[in-house]
Chain A
């Protein structure tokens, strides 16, 4: 029997005997995925479906109220303020965070091997508990805090950081400080994935540092950018903890976020509006993520 004939035979046998249903590897994959999917279903999808259902019912979930909850949410001043603040926060924070962390990643990469020290120091804020961070925040930004002491010493007027619009920038600073290190690590991973031969070829062709960054680094980092944008977007919602612990459920208007509203509505058992707002937020977030993916895919193509 010739080699080619044996190959044909070997190729045909498994096809002829393959059982109906999923192949072995797929079954294993499904079995391994099942617990995770079950967890997702039980702990996320089912509650979300119940949230959608409750958004059309009264607080006790017994009387159908239609879209009243949605109408009430849209017309609610507190919701409008919280949504605007949250959107503003995301719009301001994420570009700053992505740019700063990329800069840090490039810096760390440029000064290797000493960059390890920097890498560790940038990651430290992630290890700081929220309570400690809040304490630090108060020491720094209280009316009689260190920053105001510095301002007064410099001859400037003290600033009511937590009782004025400055609270927003304090919150932005905290978020960026806390997350920059983590994003830097993601950027570094992305940078490590870019083949060095691309840079060598570009240099041979006479490309400068900026051209290398503009035409090699940036396009190659687009998938990482997409992932980080989504992660940063989701992480930005966690900044509520700091804002809540420092200023309570009703902070200065500039840092009153959607989570404050959700928290307070739950506290007051305003479940219909809470669920309606949560559904609306989920829809908007899903839309934003899909748009981002589409944008990145187009760029990739």
Chain B
């Protein structure tokens, strides 16, 4: 009997262990590696699916704020209302109060015409516990501090070094003034009750970003460090220093507030979060792609709390559209929207965020989640590791609804039937056909690039030298590339990038074979150019980047080779593969280069071969759970609103839709003064550039692995370690296996 019980017991333990092992073996997609930009509220530790209630966003912007130079200060009042101090340059400020944002009531009218008396000065305002305005007027004569209440204006004796840049209410009827002079800051505390200003005190480190003042303590984030130092006010004695689990760079792009002396609440482009000072964990309170903060065009400025538990966020869209949003918990709101859409991208990008935000706002019934493969969470994972993880999801049928193919083996995905046919999704006549159809094969379109980058040659007319319009092959460029006076590269990586992009489609036609002759020609040409320009020892010129300087006196030639901007996403990594792409520059840059003093319109020509680099290539995986939603997203990326939004960033090259860039450009120069001495491009010039862009028909090879193989040997070639034949043979050897696998 004992033996039987022991057997059953041991069996039960084993089963329990087995189930525990099974339970821990699996992980939901997105849990390991990569960052999730969530589409719903995420409160760690609480169940999400099936639970009702979430924060909803309400636009509570007071009326009449759609003007330039408006600033808004928010503060919760003891009676539960939110106070908004609205200041417009050249106008009398207003104090507005509202309980729920539905209606704003003007309170504490300022009365005195301080603004009229100081038309050329900067005025900053804050309201104390007694409803009195405190105003700093900063003009050429320095700073003056006033207290204004019930029509009475009193100047408070006060002398500050530098300019007052900020006033912050800090509780207990006190105000913190920040003055900056010669890049050093000083703080002053105003005791509003006795109307006195403290002696100045300074932060330990002069570089600081985020600053808050509450309950007699000044909190200041040190520049470039994820640390918040505290100072006792008004004495200024340094107190504690706390590490916070917030990326140091984020302090520049967030609105934050300290609560209870121990918690940092902040809003950034991913949501509203809180983190304990000295802690390691960030709790996300509000997140959602359809919310304003998710739009890269939105800059959070101030976050405030109301007594009803709602968060109020003031910020700007672009530069001139102030907004106030209220985030209130709605118990009846379904936690999960009727539909969900998951998007996967290897790298984060402003363009993708724009597209996601625009789509989410247009489709609030859809929860959009974006999974970024290459992120802080992906740790030491290589791109190959991340792609393998994605492949596992695709093969097991748990893949995303939309795939951004940049950096992925696109041809393999097409060949293996892993993508849906997107033919007919958009009216192709509205786009640059040669570029839009980059991934059309056998009458089906497997993916659409949503923007593109190109390499352009530009030449001042009549400047002499080689006529760029006569250049037909890469070899034709030899005289230009080997003459540093015509075109100059800062380092050989830029020469390689520019020329490889143009040559890649010849070297690796459709990524299925290697053209040995084209490879040797490319290596020989670039080697000669590197030698002629004397840049064999300089891979990258960090001072001047890759800008190729034109010498108008000689050839008047420019090859646009500005290094691709990586944006300011902190998790972007820089590798050769990332760095290398086509030239990325804005439409506007090209247009403003069209006319140079004393010369006619600049001649523009594509690099030989008309090779372009597709960007933000969107596709819908075959068998996606929400294929219709995926198609709608891809369509939205190509349509007007998103294309226009992408133009506002302009980081990824030109808009795919014809006319979008031109329209925005012409709009932007409409206000230029007519007597400007510069010749402004016209609609006709836009049509000229559009015609040039229409000549690009060949997609560059986007296979990063192949590019790495070529660059690896090219580096050795440029440094003189090996010759052209040896480099070519090494590339052939290393790519032979790749191509053998494909057959």
Contacts and interface: CB of A to CB of B under 8 A. Distances in A.
Interface centre among B25, B387, B412, B741, by most chain A C-beta atoms within 10 angstroms, is: B741
A28 B14 contact: no
Given A76-B743, A261-B741, A266-B391, A271 B18 contact: no
A50 B232 CA distance: 67
Interface string A121-165: 000000000000000000000000000000000000000000100
B610 to A, nearest CB: 28
A39 B384 contact: no
A267 B7 contact: no
Given A34-B11, A39-B18, A39-B21, A59 B740 contact: no
A32 B11 contact: yes
Interface stretch (A105-113, A203-211, A248-256): A248-256
A35 B743 contact: no
A43 B21 CA distance: 11
B418 A269 contact: yes
A250 B734 contact: yes
A285 B46 CA distance: 49
Interface string A11-48: 00000000000001001100110110011001100000
B409 A267 contact: yes
Nearest to A268: B412
A78 B742 CA distance: 9
Contacts of B22: 42
A60 interface: yes
Interface residues of B, number: 41
Contacts of A35: 14-15, 17-18
A77 B740 contact: yes
B409 A163 contact: no
B416 interface: yes
Given A31-B11, A32-B10, A35-B15, A81 B740 contact: yes
B416 A270 contact: yes
B192 interface: no
B417 A267 contact: no
B394 A256 contact: no
Interface string B704-724: 010001000000000000000
A265 interface: yes
Contacts of A61: 395
A264 interface: yes
Contacts of A39: 18, 21
Nearest to A35: B14
Chain B contact residues: helix, strand, loop or mixed: helix
B741 A31 contact: no
Interface string A41-68: 0110000000000000011110000000
Nearest to B12: A31
Contacts of B11: 31-32, 34
Contacts of B540: none
Interface string B10-31: 1100110110011001000000
A264 B706 CA distance: 13
Interface centre among A60, A163, A252, A260, by most chain B C-beta atoms within 10 angstroms, is: A60
A268 B15 contact: no
Interface in B397-420: 409, 412-413, 416-418
A28 B10 CA distance: 9
B18 A28 contact: no
B741 A76 contact: yes
A24 B740 contact: no
B7 A28 contact: yes
Interface centre among A34, A250, A260, A271, by most chain B C-beta atoms within 10 angstroms, is: A250
Nearest to A261: B741
A163 B394 contact: no
A77 B737 CA distance: 8
A59 B418 contact: yes
B4 interface: yes
Interface in B649-667: none
B7 A31 contact: yes
A58 B21 contact: no
Interface string B417-453: 1100000000000000000000000000000000000
Nearest to B709: A250
B9 to A, nearest CB: 10
Nearest to A54: B395
Contact of B417 (A58, A249, A266): A58
Shortest 4 CB-CB contacts between residues of A and residues of B: A268-B412, A35-B14, A78-B740, A31-B11
Given A35-B14, A38-B18, A60-B622, 9 more contacts: A27-B7, A28-B7, A32-B10, A43-B25, A77-B740, A78-B740, A78-B741, A267-B391, A269-B395
